Amino acid sequence: METVKVEDFGPESEVEDLGRYVDEISTTVNRLEQKVNDVEQFYLTTDNMELTVTKSNSACKEKVQEKQLTGTEKQRQEVSHRKAASMKRMQELMRQFATILRQITQHKWAHPFMHPVDVEGLGLHDYYEVVQKPMDFGTIKSKMEAKDCTGYKNVRELYSDVRLVFKNAMKYNDERHDVHIMAKTLLEKFEEKWLQLLPKVAEEEKRLVEEEAKAEQDVKLAQEAVHANMAKELSNELCEVDLQLEKLRQMVIQKCRKMSTEEKKKLGMALTRLSPEDLSKALEIVAENNPGFQPTAQEVDLDIDAQSELTLWRLKFFVQDKLKHAGKCSEVVDCNNINNNENTVKSNSKRRREMSDALTKNAIKRNRKLSPNS
């Protein structure tokens, strides 16, 4: 059985046309392969993250997938609204804290803490050795009024600095010193007022944590929606490549010359060298263009001479490929001169199947994640 040669496909111009068609399909396959790698990498990364998926989250995913663009825009709006609402609530807490601070700074004993300690003027040469982070109400006020990123981000930061004013004074001055006593008294008054505001602060902090967790989950949902949509598009494109590959295979076979009697004889001999599984597949090829042929019958009588040229050449391609991979190449089948275009078609088909398998594998993983019972 001779191998397929360039001369078998007709005029050189037709062979060049087939070559260009093969190049176009190869380019498409390369592009899809990169997309598949991106999708597969995303799901491999997701596998290493712990995601607790509830029924409501699953419903949300389906909704986002159906209306991806609208959902993304809506998500941006929701994030913007949440940030605005959070900022408004934080400003209200700051306002209430400012009321407390004003009450403390208006106390008759507050004057030593209104400005930075005059270290040189008071001769406190060891002050910075004792106090690592100096703080005073003047500095706090400036930071509260700051419009840039140097301002306080939340009430907890403001609370810490107010305590620091008094703690520094108590740390540097002996407990019998007037400044120490004044600081301790004001700190106690401040803590009493802070305890009244603390429940609201704790509630807001809890709410922020929940909103941040939701925002993070929304981002993950959006990412999964994008990649799910990409996988869906890839699946459609891979089906299109399938059709193109089959069309190309048919074109290649139809361009082949008529098979000689000797070639038919060698093809029949080569068929006997196939494994049982491959032989069954070869018989299925015969059945595709011969409805009356029963490939699964207990006894099969295959008349090579009665087959169409299309079937004969398809069988020849199939047998060459299987015997080559089975390592059964001999004088009957020379496996070293198979036409490059046919090899490219097979290679692209194999790569397409591998990409399709990867998509299917990732889809199964994703479906398991989305399952409410998972």
- Could you tell me the domains of the chain? 82-211 (1.20.920.10), 259-326 (1.20.1270.220)
Regarding predicted confidence, which is higher, 3 or 266? 266
Whether the pLDDT of residue 80 is over 80: the answer is: no
- The Cα 113–Cα 185 span in angstroms is 13
With 0-12 CB in 10 A as exposed, 13-18 as middle and 19+ as buried, what is 180? middle
pLDDT at residue 295 in the model: 81
Give the tens place of pLDDT for each residue, 276-327.
Answer: 899 988 898 888 878 788 888 878 888 888 888 888 888 888 898 888 887 7
CB burial readout 188-214, b (16+ within 10 A) else e: eebeebbeebeeebeebeeeeeeeeee
Regarding predicted confidence, which is higher, 163 or 9? 163
- The Cα 209–Cα 267 span in angstroms is 72
Of all residues in the chain, what percent carry a pLDDT higher than 70? 72
Alpha helices, DSSP H, located in the chain: 12-47, 55-66, 68-105, 119-122, 127-130, 137-145, 155-172, 178-255, 261-271, 276-288, 309-326, 340-370
Taking residues 265-284, report their average pLDDT: 90
CA of residue 41 relative to chain centroid, distance: 7
Q: Which two tokens stand for residue 121?
A: 């003027």
With 0-12 CB in 10 A as exposed, 13-18 as middle and 19+ as buried, what is 56? exposed
Q: Of 1, 84, 63, 8, which Cα lies nearest the Cα of 261?
A: 1
